Amino acid sequence: MPNPHFDITITQRSKGQSAVAGAAYQSGEKLFSEYDQKTKNYSGKRGILYTEIMLPSNAPSEYANRETLWNSVEAAEKQWNAQLARRFVLALPKEVPPEQYPQMVRDYCEKQFVSKGMIADFAIHDPNPPGHNVHCHVMLTLRAMDEHGRWLPKSRKVYDLDENGERIRLPSGNWKSHKENTVD
């Protein structure tokens, strides 16, 4: 079955984007953004077949509420140029009965993202005419959750070691290090 469309983007504050606005759009809901104190209203959007938020077992249950989840994501990011969410759109095969779409997307998100600590918010769209362009929007948190339901850092500092396993001191007196992503 061909799947000709798979588009991945990052929601970035530096581009004037909002995770709350993205979630409102894909779910066809009216959500209030605490970050900019504006309501994002897509409640008139048609063609939304199904929406769901998938939480890892250690995520707070209140994150099952879309407005609470994405406002929490935006609050965790302090930088003016913060990356807020990973978003992708994928075409769904016409050959599959529409009632199987939610389970297909759920299985994929569980295996690839939720099992690794991320939260997945997805919505299946079937705009007019029905069956012509069935696709799914998925938003993922960029930070994983710790065992207590708190956001983890996106990266961590790792010291470079020499052949003896000792940290390498630079001429400046600092230790040589690099950044490793915690969720990728």
Q: Which of 123, 106, 111, 112 has the alpha carbon at shortest distance from 54? A: 106
166, two tokens? 């000792």
pLDDT score at 2: 53
pLDDT score at 157: 66
Q: Which of 3, 1, 6 has the alpha carbon at shortest distance from 138? A: 6
For residues 87 and 172, membership in a common domain is answered with no
**Mean pLDDT in runs of 10 for the chain (184 residues)?**
72 95 97 96 94 94 97 93 93 90 96 91 90 91 84 72 86 80 58
Q: Which of 152, 181, 2 has the alpha carbon at shortest distance from 91? A: 2
For residues 48 and 117, membership in a common domain is answered with yes
Q: Is residue 82 part of a domain?
A: yes
Amino acid identity, residue 80?
W
CATH number of the domain bearing residue 96:
3.30.930.30
Q: Is residue 1 part of a domain?
A: no
Residue 181 bridge partners (DSSP) = 155
For residues 33 and 61, membership in a common domain is answered with yes
For residues 118 and 179, membership in a common domain is answered with no
For residues 64 and 114, membership in a common domain is answered with yes
- pTM of the prediction? 0.82
pLDDT score at 182: 60
For residues 23 and 68, membership in a common domain is answered with yes
pLDDT score at 184: 53
Side-chain-side CA neighbours of residue 114 (13 Å): 21
Tell me the residue range of the domain where 160 lies: 153-184
For residues 129 and 81, membership in a common domain is answered with yes
pLDDT score at 7: 83
